[in-house]
Amino acid sequence: MFRLKESTHVATPLDYRSVAIVPPIVCNHLDDVAEVHVAGQYRISVRFHDGTSGIVDLTQLLHSPDAGVFAELLDPSVFAAAEVYLGAVTWPGGIDLAPDTMYAALRANREWILK
């Protein structure tokens, strides 16, 4: 039997499925980000699951008139909130970097400068 949840949402069978049926998402592919650390002003140090690592420099992008949503990262406290979520580097507000593009750039040069 299903009960009404808060507000007007009506419970469905999917609301009651067991966690054992739906396993957690594990992002440990070679090109998924494993670690991220702030490495200076507008720079992050990134390591992937295969050991590939390097520096991503966002300085030029953040100061560009085309920065768009990335302009929010000019705030040092927002930039410092970088974390790994589902194999990608993310920040509050849904800002993220494409891990596959970052991986290719860091494998080739160990540094990725976004413009």
Q: What is the pLDDT of residue 2?
A: 45
Share of the chain above pLDDT 90, in %: 73
Q: What is the rounded CA–CA span in Å between residue 71 and residue 32?
A: 25
Closest CA to 63 of 48, 51, 73, 49: 73
Q: pLDDT at residue 95 above 80?
A: yes
Q: What is the rounded CA–CA span in Å between residue 114 and residue 48?
A: 18
Domain 25-113 has CATH 3.30.2020.10: yes
- Model-level pTM? 0.78
